[in-house]
Amino acid sequence: MSKMFLARQKIVNINGKIFAYELLFRDSSTGIKKLPSDIKATAQVMLNSLSHIDLDGLLTKEGIAFINVDSEIIESDVLELLDPKRFVIEILETVQLTSALYNKIVSLKKKGYKIALDDFDCSEEMLKNFQPLLKYLNVIKIDALTVNKDNLKKLLPKFKAAGIKLLIEKIENPKEYLYYKELGFDLFQGYHIGRPESFEFESIQDPIEVIILKLISIIKTDKETAEIERFIKLRPDLAYNIIKFINNQNTTKERISSIVQAVTLMGRDSLLRWLLVYLYAEVSGNEFSKPLLHAAVLRAETMEESASRGNKEEAFMVGMFSMLDSLFKVQIKDIFKGLNLSPAVTNALLYKTGELGKGLTEAIQIEKDYFKKVFLANFNKINPADIIIAFENNDIDY
């Protein structure tokens, strides 16, 4: 099991009671070793808070959390994985508000999400950028270190009249706390209120490759779309990549706003194939993952082409799956342990039996014949010892 990290910093109300926590990125027990991009930091916080830990234990049963988001996260639609009753979407101050982004945020608001604005400094530039959003904001976070206090005093009554809660952050001493309390602030955050608390925990979830293989199994057994959605939501990073993939396609102008919509629009067959490609190209740490993907696709297409009409989809799966042992450097039987694959697929992969097993054997033989031909054609250019080793490693007679 791998170690995961996360931090929370409390936000209190005017009576000193905990109002919420801000969830913060951490990649070690001592803090942050390598600061990632905004989107990667947010994705990691989402992944940990949704998948790896007890949210009630982290936030208390009915507690809420602020989570930082940038424009890329907002546009990706992955935020809809979050429960609007538990999470406040905190828009980073660096976001440049475009019409498309504005529409996204308004849509989230209409779906019940609370919206906060981070590190507002009350400057004319920032006010101009976020002016259209003001009527949709639940909370504005003011940075005590950078705020223009003269402008703050002018804007504060307007914010109050709009029903926006004001949160002062980076409060580091009692004097600052009393100043902003008397000024009329509703919420308080900073070292004086409480330093971030770091959490280190074991990831007890299945590795991502197992998650994907189980998802493929669920799709192949014709489960309801809701069951597929529930399973995808176990991994926000996977959900994000599925939605991003569809939104990047030129074949549709429809923007994805839910996992169900993504699965419906993508289609189960296309989703299956994408998952297989994702397994090779993104999940594996194997330095040879790209050439293995290429080889697996060729094998899968060879098997699909030669298979009978009713077996083409399973033939493609067998071809792709047959190289997972090389990809992850484990025994093929260990990869599929506990997976509910069809007997035909399982027997083909483990024992090379049945029509699919025969197809796999024939596809491998075609590759061996081609491999042997290429090597022999280039015999004078290659060290003979390397050829012999390659033949032996690939079980080719010479």
Residue 308 has pLDDT above 80, yes or no: yes
Q: What's the confidence (pLDDT) of residue 228? A: 80
Q: What average pLDDT does the segment 121-147 reach? A: 93
SS3 286: coil
Each residue's pLDDT tens digit, 201-231: 655 455 566 677 778 777 766 777 777 877 7
Q: What's the confidence (pLDDT) of residue 1? A: 44
What is the DSSP annotation of 291-331? HHHHHHHHHHHHHHHHS-GGGHHHHHHHHHHTTHHHHHTS-
Domains in the chain: boundaries: 3-202, 208-386
3-202: what CATH class? alpha beta
Q: What average pLDDT does the segment 97-103 reach? A: 91
Q: What's the confidence (pLDDT) of residue 375? A: 72
The model's pTM: 0.57
Q: What's the confidence (pLDDT) of residue 204? A: 45
Model confidence band, residue 38 (pLDDT cutoffs 50, 70, 90): low
Sign of CA dihedral 85, 87, 93, 94: negative
Model confidence band, residue 255 (pLDDT cutoffs 50, 70, 90): low
Higher confidence at residue 136 or residue 3? 136
Angle between helices 268-278 and 236-247 (to 10 degrees): 120
CA angle 238, 244, 249 (to 5 degrees): 135
Q: What is the token pair recorded at 36?
A: 């990632």
Residue 102 has pLDDT above 90, yes or no: yes
Closest CA relative to residue 64, chosen from 138, 5, 160, 142: 138
Model confidence band, residue 269 (pLDDT cutoffs 50, 70, 90): confident
Lowest-pLDDT range of 6-15, 126-135, 191-200, 319-328: 319-328
What is the DSSP annotation of 367-387? HHHHHHHHHHHTGGGS-HHHH
Each residue's pLDDT tens digit, 331-362: 777 766 655 567 888 899 889 999 999 999 99
Higher confidence at residue 60 or residue 165? 165
Task: Give the chain's length.
Answer: 398
Lowest-pLDDT range of 96-110, 272-286, 301-315, 347-361: 272-286
Higher confidence at residue 43 or residue 126? 126
SS3 223: coil
Q: What's the confidence (pLDDT) of residue 138? A: 96
Query: What does the mean pLDDT of the chain come to?
Result: 79
Q: Are 129 and 100 in contact (CB under 8 A)?
A: no
Residue 52 has pLDDT above 60, yes or no: no
Residue 302 has pLDDT above 50, yes or no: yes
Residue 251 has pLDDT above 60, yes or no: no
